[in-house]
Structure 1
Amino acid sequence: MAPLAPAALAAAAEDPLLRDVTELVRIPSVSALPEHAKDVRAAAEWFVARLKRTPGGVFASARVEETGGHPVVLAEASEASVAHLDAASVATVTIYGHVDVQPVDPLELWDSPPFELTAGEMGGEAVYFGRGSTDDKGNLLAALAGVEDLLAETDGRLPVRLKFFVEGQEEIGSPQLSAFIASKKEVLATDYVFSADGTQPGLGKAGVVLGLRGAMAMQIDVQGPERDLHSGFWGGAV
């Protein structure tokens, strides 16, 4: 990991999106470890506060919702931001993402502290390393930044009715999410979902994924000898 030049670091420090990512990455919201449950909640609460800072109070409705496990963040755009639209025909779009992350073990394989966003260089491009920086904290904040840029260009008016749905248990298979969604059908009703949880084809090359395959779980059982066998004598047979 090569360090960035001082000028590049100074420019990055002035980037409000990068400051947000730095703050959110700093929260060790590992959903798989019970000792980090409070951190998953802290990350959800941080994102609620960030949504509420959107200019014009567009996402003043942002709140933490309980699921029986790690929480969910919900937000709906203000009526003022969509008042110019035809209520009978306007589409609803939900931006989905998650604030939980994978465990960081083994720590000795990291070149930088996992919960500190660290600047570096890869292929001549400025890059940043940190757990959750691309899965999914950075992506989620980039989506919010895009919405805020749009609001700035349109004087606070949205082209669609917009919602945010941000969970804290994606990395463990979202065990409480099905029941939560079933209990909130009216609140969560939407025409389209944009997932901020994904990748792009390459640095400087954006992409939009049009579908996901879902998840599959399986178990592979392998039978072998009850004791160690010398590979030179037994390797082929084993």
Structure 2
Amino acid sequence: MTQTRHDIEPGRRRALGLLLAAAAAVAAGCGTTGGPVPDGYYRVERGDTLYSIARKHRRSVRDLTRWNSDITSPSQIEVGQLIRVRPPGGASGSASAGQAVTDTPRVDSGPASRPPASSIRLQWPADGRVTAGFAPPASKGLSIAVPANGAVRAAAAGRAIHVGNLRGYGMLVIVKHSDDWLTVYGNLDQPLVTEGAQVSAGQDVGRMGASPSELHFEVRGNGKPVDPAAYLPSRG
């Protein structure tokens, strides 16, 4: 069954916010440092996110941020960084494996309070009429009714920093255009790019299903959703 904006619950929107922050952090990762890993610690590898590390060690993201004072945001991890994954001083952990999946810190996904320093010009990601506009907190982007098997195109050149499923968004592609700007393409039937691939403006990044469905399209400046209509050309 096709999921629409009505299926995206607040917790799922927070999950997307966490994913965006972590994916951006990995995309900007630095070089690896070597050396032995002390007992109770984990060294961040390329492709890791704080969420994936927490799940691997049967902890919650909240545990890891509490035990590592240098992590004040899920986006603040780097390749080669040592992260404590066991409680210090005999303190007890708080999460089971199941909790580690769902116990993510609240990520403010409301409209940006200030615009990014840079600007961006976008093109429409798909053909079809807009069925729902930007109206936070219910809608963080646009819903576009795309014809059956319709192509979904990159709104600007950039790099695919995430390709995969996210609960409530279905198959999802996230393209990073600069340090300030990301675009999100959700509810795809099939991705047409791989994670890490460079994409050009207008390149097909996904395809919708065999029956008409709605593309969920977001624009994020400084990690916060902004009104896509402000950056898209008029359709006349």
Judging by fraction of residues, say which structure has more strand.
2
Judging by fraction of residues, say which structure has more helix.
1
Same fold (TM over 0.5): no
Bigger relative contact order, structure 1 or 2 (CA pairs below 8 A, ≥6 apart): 1
Q: TM-score, normalised by structure 1?
A: 0.23
